[in-house]
């Protein structure tokens, strides 16, 4: 599975310049490509609403939070979205390519696998960040 250079470039911009809140990637013609980027002003709800209900996607989300000590922090989440309603072949392709793609994105701090919106709720993300 090839990875488009734009994927690494956009991820690097999210990580170092914080130009984006999230990036959604999809596999197209045996290649991982950027499908959508979210501006820094967009929320977690905007991000989760951008994931298709019946197709798999990879995504990264830059999650800002405040610790109990009142420190502002940020963690970069990698979320593998594989809804139950996606075609079996699609789920297999995304599952078998996930680790290879994730290695291309240096700086992932937390990984989530979700088959249903409840498995990647804001509360779950918040708990995993702390």
Supply the pLDDT for residue 49: 96
Give residue 103's pLDDT band: very low, low, confident or very high (50, 70, 90).
Answer: very high
Average pLDDT of the residues in 66-95:
95
Q: What six digits make up the tokens of 123?
A: 């509360």
Across the chain, what does the average pLDDT equal? 95
The pLDDT tens digits for 50-67 are 999 999 999 999 999 988
Query: Smallest Cα–Cα separation from 121: which of 130, 68, 112?
Result: 112
pTM of model > 0.75: yes
Supply the pLDDT for residue 123: 93
Pairing between β-strand 22-28 and β-strand 110-114 as defined by DSSP bridges: unpaired
């Amino acid at each position: 599975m090839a990875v488009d250079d734009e994927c690494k470039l956009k991820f690097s911009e999210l990580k170092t310049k914080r130009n984006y809140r999230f990036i959604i990637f999809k596999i197209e013609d045996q290649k991982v490509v950027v499908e959508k980027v979210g501006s820094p002003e967009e929320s977690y709800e905007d991000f989760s609403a951008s994931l298709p209900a019946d197709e798999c996607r990879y995504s990264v989300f830059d999650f800002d939070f405040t610790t109990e000590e009142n420190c502002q922090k940020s963690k970069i989440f990698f979320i593998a979205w594989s809804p139950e309603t996606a075609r079996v072949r699609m789920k297999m392709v995304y599952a078998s390519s996930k680790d290879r793609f994730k290695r291309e994105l240096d700086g992932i701090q937390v990984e989530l696998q979700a088959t249903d919106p409840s498995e990647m709720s804001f509360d779950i993300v918040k708990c995993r960040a702390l």
